Amino acid sequence: MFDADAEFVVTEDVLNYRHAVTPYEPLGAEVKIDAAGNLRAFYPAAESGEQRLLIGSHLDTVPNAGAYDGVLGVVLAIALLEDLKGQRPPFGIEVVGFSEEEGVRFGTPFIGSRALVGRLDDELLKRRDSNGICVRQAIEEFGLKPDEIPDAIVSDDALGFVEFDIEQGPVLEQIGRPLGVVEAIVGQSRLEFTFVGRANHAGTAPMHLRYDAIAAAAEWITSVEREGQRISGLVATVGQVEAKPGTTNVIAGEARLTLDVRHSSDDVRMRTVEALMRKAEEIAERRKLLVRWETIMNQGAVAMNPFLIRQTEEAIRKTGCEPHRMVSGAGHDAMILAEKVPSAMIFLRTPGGISHAPEETVEIEDVAKAIESGLHLLDLLASSHAVQRRT
Ligand code: GLV
Ligand code: MN
C-alpha cells in the first residue's frame, strides 16, 4: 500500500510530458500540466463521461519546510488510484497537485487553485516577486501559456473536491485520534506594511532626532502580538521583516513587514485588520514617519460541504477510527475549490503539532488509515444516491 522505503525516480518521461504529444499515462490516468502549473491526472470513470471527483493538495511549500504539508495529499491521492488496481468508479477521478498554495514567491497564496475556479485574473498575473518577475512571466518562463489559463477551470458539474493534508497543529494528537474532518477553514487577511523614516548615521544622529523605521515597526509588531492575545481565537503574525538599507551603522529609513491575520469570524478578522491599520498610523504620526500598506488578500472563512463531511466521517469510521470534527486554522486549496464545487478535507494527526518546519512528520499507520478511509469514501460516493443522480 504505502511503501516508505520505495525509491522515487524522476524519469525522462516525467520531465518531458509537459511537452509530450502523447499523454503520459501511469496507472491509466492521463497526466498533464495546466496553464497555471497545476499537475492534473484524470482517471476515467467506468463508463465514458467527464464527470469527476477531484482529489489533491499542493506541491509547493515554504522555506525550510517539512516534507509532508501539501505533497502528502497529492501522493495519497495517487496511492488511492494505485489501490483501485484498475477498478473504475462510476465517476472519473482527477488528481490535482496544485502549483502554488503557500504564497511564498508572490505573497499571494492559492494561485493554482484560483485557476480552477476562474479567479487567476489579470491583477494576480501582474503581481511581482522580489526580483520583479510577475506571475505571467513566471508561467511563460516555465513553458506554459497564460492565455490558456481559462482551460484550467473545473466544470460546474464536478462531484466535489477532497483534500487530504496533515493537521499542522496539535489537536488530533492531544485527543489521540489519527484522523480529523474539517468543517470549516478560517478566513485570512494578508497585507504588506511599509514604515518610511529617514536613513541616517547611527553614530552621529542623537536619539531624539531620529526617524527610525525599524523602531516604529518594532512597536507596531508588539501591538500585533497583543491584539492576537487579546481576542479569543484570533491569530495575528508578522512573519517577514525587511529593513533598508539594512546595515549595522545606519538607522533604517524603511521597514517592510508582512501581516497575516486569521479568525473563524470574518467580522472579527476585518475589524482587527482595521484596528492594526489605525495603530500603524498612530505610531507613524507620533514618531513623525509615514506608513503605507497594501492589502494582498482578504479570504473569507469557508464551510466545507455538509454531505461530504458526513460521508467522510462515515468513511473514517469504517476504518475503525473515530473522526474528530474541527476547524482548520491553516488555509487550504479546498477553501478556494469550495467556491465552485462541494469540498471536504481529511486531516492526519501531526506529531508534536509541528508544521512549516523541518520537524514536521506523520505516523505511517495514520497514512495507511487515511488511504483506507479514502477508498471507503470512493465506495460510499459510488453508491450514494446524491452522487448517482448527478452522474
Ligand atoms: C497555508 O498553508 C497557510 O495556512 O498559510
Ligand atoms: Mn502549508
pLDDT at 156: 85
Tell how far the Cα of 256 is from the centroid of ligand 1, in angstroms.
21
d(CA 311, CA 292): 47
What's the N-to-C CA distance of the chain in angstroms? Answer: 29
Task: Tell me which ligand sits closest to the C-alpha of residue 108.
Answer: 1
Tell how far the Cα of 331 is from the centroid of ligand 1, in angstroms.
4
The verdict on the CB of residue 331 being under 6 Å from ligand 1 is yes
Q: 250 - beta bridge partners? A: 201
The pair phi, psi for residue 30, each rounded to 5°, is: -90, 125
pLDDT at 76: 97
Q: Which residues of the chain have pLDDT under 50?
A: 1-11, 14-15, 17, 19-22
| Beta strand spans in 81-186 (E) | 92-98, 160-166, 179-185
Residues 6 or more apart whose CB falls under 8 angstroms from that of 363 comprise: 178, 348, 349, 351
CB neighbourhood size of 375 (10 A): 17
Residue the block writes with cell 496553464: 35
Among 61, 167, 332, 336, residue to substitute to test ligand 1 (most atoms within 8 Å of Cβ): 332
d(CA 180, CA 167): 8
Helix ranges restricted to H, the chain: 12-16, 71-83, 111-116, 122-125, 135-141, 171-175, 213-230, 266-286, 306-317, 333-337, 364-383, 385-390
Task: Tell me which ligand sits closest to the C-alpha of residue 187.
Answer: 1
Residues 6 or more apart whose CB falls under 8 angstroms from that of 290 comprise: 195, 196, 284
Burial of 10 (0-12, 13-18, 19+ CB in 10 A): exposed
Cβ atoms 56, 95 nearer than 8 A: yes
282-317 pLDDT, tens digit per residue, is 999 999 999 999 999 999 999 999 999 999 999 999
Tell how far the Cα of 108 is from the centroid of ligand 1, in angstroms.
11
Tell how far the Cα of 254 is from the centroid of ligand 2, in angstroms.
29
* Ligand 1 atom nearest residue 168's Cα: 2
Chain-centre distance for alpha carbon 9: 26
Tell how far the Cα of 282 is from the centroid of ligand 2, in angstroms.
33
158-182 pLDDT, tens digit per residue, is 999 999 999 999 999 999 999 999 9
Residues 6 or more apart whose CB falls under 8 angstroms from that of 218 comprise: none
Task: Tell me which ligand sits closest to the C-alpha of residue 103.
Answer: 1
Q: Print burial letters for 205-242: b (CB count within 10 Å at least 16), e (below 16).
A: beeeebbbbbbbbbbbbebbeebbeebeebebebeeee
Full-model pTM: 0.88
Tell how far the Cα of 345 is from the centroid of ligand 1, in angstroms.
14
Tell how far the Cα of 115 is from the centroid of ligand 2, in angstroms.
19
Q: 261 - beta bridge partners? A: 189, 236
Cβ atoms 166, 348 nearer than 8 A: yes
Among 108, 347, 356, residue to substitute to test ligand 1 (most atoms within 8 Å of Cβ): 356
Q: Which of 187, 171, 186, 164 lies closest to 325 in space, CA to CA? A: 171
Indicate the SS3 state at residue 331. coil
Task: Tell me which ligand sits closest to the C-alpha of residue 60.
Answer: 2
* Ligand 1 atom nearest residue 329's Cα: 4
d(CA 173, CA 169): 8
pLDDT at 391: 59
pLDDT at 25: 72
Q: Which of 167, 168, 178 lies closest to 370 in space, CA to CA? A: 178
pLDDT at 26: 77
* Ligand 1 atom nearest residue 70's Cα: 2
* Ligand 1 atom nearest residue 102's Cα: 1
Q: Which of 7, 38, 41 lies closest to 333 in space, CA to CA? A: 38
The verdict on the CB of residue 330 being under 6 Å from ligand 1 is yes
What are the distances in angstroms from CA 314 to CA 162, 345, 375?
Answer: 14, 13, 12
Task: Tell me which ligand sits closest to the C-alpha of residue 355.
Answer: 2
Tell how far the Cα of 204 is from the centroid of ligand 2, in angstroms.
45
Cβ atoms 51, 343 nearer than 8 A: no
pLDDT at 344: 98
Residues 6 or more apart whose CB falls under 8 angstroms from that of 237 comprise: 224, 228, 259, 260, 261
Residues 6 or more apart whose CB falls under 8 angstroms from that of 132 comprise: none
Cβ atoms 178, 172 nearer than 8 A: yes
Indicate the SS3 state at residue 258. strand
